[in-house]
Structure 1
């Protein structure tokens, strides 16, 4: 395929991305309501509003409610996109409150604020109601908030993570890092599933042209979502050329390929590692550019690149190993027993011949 045809194919693929809806969804501010004492609400607001790229941004306030909850308040809470309940102890809630809050379809995020030396941090737990998430974290403990609370809160609205990060800067690092990891794994798994191809001329990477189009498309969507998460207001066609200048067209993949060829033989593992590492490095470079406002120097690019290499090798080995185990387990399964065909006994004279009436 010539360079002109490659560009044409890529442009056709990129034009199919519904960028308009993506941008509109990101600009919709999620409506968050917090239920709890004022001092706890203040701590949560501070955690949500402290993040990168907040200059000139009007910070989004949280609607605040107090316990106990009267019927009018419960009706109001049903209008929000996410309800956040702050408690010292679950016993603060009456049975009626629990019943009312958990039966509403709006997601409920419960934070158990455990003060004192016995404070603990646990992984988020989903309650018996699948739209209720419970997290234990001390609100004035920065480490606990960063490690457990914010990541769990970023996942509270799976379809609205970009809008959440855009409105609440404290969620931006978590949302962006999860996005980069998810896209890197998506590209890696795609690469692992498409087999081994010849090197692409000019790039020196083991992908078919169709692979390059898909992987690059995913990278561009990721890059634009990173921008939207960090408050980007420009349109896709205005932003992407600037981002391409940050890392250079194909720079990360070429660099990753050159380094990994020395460690891995040409094959599925190499291809998977390049897909992961190239995507991861691109995402980190775009994120750092947005945060600092400056194009990364060679030293910073090298740091990101080296980190991507290590991650790429590890993730690729894991993906390929899991795929091989799954394939082996399928081969080891006994073949399904074929159904026996049952031939019904009949006498020739008992069957009516078509069209004869006999």
Structure 2
């Protein structure tokens, strides 16, 4: 557990963050229209609106169930997402097929969910213009993976700026949004450490750059924790969320800082460990906060260390991939520079010959 001084330091770090923008993002208005076969749409809405979690929906459901037979497509122009739920055992009328074709012309973010089939047959009813939609085929709606597949398909088409608002109001999206947030911020922190790795190899610059790293990484972790809290429907007061969650994630913060302090003393070959630890520390902190906001679970020290080891393995893989990409980019840039240098030299020779 962190000491009171640890909590005070963390609070001072968090206090410098402008969380108002995150809060506004979590409260953005959202409209999702679900149309098609009534039974499929009702099941989709039920799966998205309910979940066994500490916090229920934060606000009214953004899902509007609309009959395909009576819908007026032009009235949906301001919808953020359209879900077309179909059952392969229910034949669509000519009017309904025409409406789907009209919806396609609006070019709105769209997910087509087909219930109870393996693959579409030759009688697939959708107009080719709906090719921009994400197609999700659910052979067995009772499968344990159905809710996850549904959430991933919806988030794939819903604008990223609305993911936080959607998770806050639809518990069925929360676990997938949490996983995406944790992976994204972990990758961001790993990329940041790699970008600052070279100056840290200069002994006289090592300490100030390491301190700057710690500040940036901690702020990114803090914003990740706050986003997770809002995604899970927690009240938006950051001070309350801080004192609620710091005893839970304190071990993860301390573990990351201690590891970075030790590895920061390693010379050039320590770049990979630093990148891996930045990823793993952020990932571990995110998972600990995620479990607390989702279920009120306090991850014990042994489990936290286990998560840390798993995260470190992921971090090492990410570090290797990032460094390989940087090297490849460097080779390409060096090749371009050589080509430019050669071109300038040839131009200079031609000018001199005149």
Q: Give the alignment's TM-score, normalised by structure 2.
A: 0.77
Q: 215, 218, 232: which one pairs with 1:216?
A: 218
Quote the Cα distance in structure 2 between the aligned partners of 1:299 and 1:265: 32
Measured after TM superposition, the shift of residue 165 of structure 1 is 0.7
Q: CA deviation at 1:63?
A: 1.3
Gaps of 5+ in 1: 121-126, 344-358
Aligned to 1:68, the other structure's residue is in SS state coil
Residue 327 of structure 2: aligned partner: 324
Quick check: which has more Rg, 1 or 2?
1
1:267-314 alpha-carbon deviations (Å, 9 max, x no partner)? 211111011000000000101111232432112212221221111111
| Cα RMSD (Å) | 3.8
Q: How many residues are matched?
A: 323
Is the aligned partner of 1:49 residue 2:52? no
Contact 1:183 1:218 in 2 (8 A): yes
Q: Which structure has more helix as a fraction of its residues? A: 2
Please give the residue correspondences for 1:1-358 in structure 2 after superposition, counting only pairs within 5 Å.
11=12, 17-53=17-53, 57=57, 60=61, 62-70=63-71, 73-88=72-87, 92=92, 96-104=98-106, 106-113=108-115, 115-116=116-117, 118=118, 132-138=133-139, 140-155=141-156, 156-196=158-198, 197=200, 208-248=210-250, 250-254=253-257, 256-257=259-260, 266-333=269-336, 334-336=338-340, 337-338=343-344, 340=347
Whether the 8 Å CA contact 2:11–2:242 is kept in 1: the answer is no
Q: How far apart, CA to CA, are the structure 2 residues paired with 1:8 and 1:245?
A: 13
Distance 1:192 1:247 in 2: 25
Helix, strand or coil at the partner of 1:34: strand
CA distance in structure 2 between the partners assigned to 1:188 and 1:313 by the alignment: 10
Q: Flag the structure with more relative contact order, 1 or 2, with Cα contacts below 8 A and sequence separation at least 6.
A: 2
Q: CA deviation at 1:254?
A: 4.0
Q: Quote the residue 1:355 is aligned against.
A: none
Distance verdict in 2 for CA 1:169–1:9, change over 3 Å: closer
Cα separation, 2, equivalents of 1:134 and 1:99: 15
CA contact (8 A) 1:40 1:139 kept: no
**CA distance in structure 2 between the partners assigned to 1:62 and 1:50 by the alignment:** 12
Query: Given the superposition, is the C-alpha separation of residues 311 and 259 from structure 1 closer, same or farther in structure 2, using an over 3 Å criterion?
Result: farther
Judged with a 3 Å threshold, the aligned counterparts in structure 2 of structure 1 residues 244 and 10 are, in CA distance, closer, same or farther, namely closer
Contact 2:25/2:161 (<8 A) preserved: no
Distance in 1 between the 2:63 and 2:210 partners? 49
Q: Is the 8 A contact 1:32 1:80 kept in 2?
A: yes
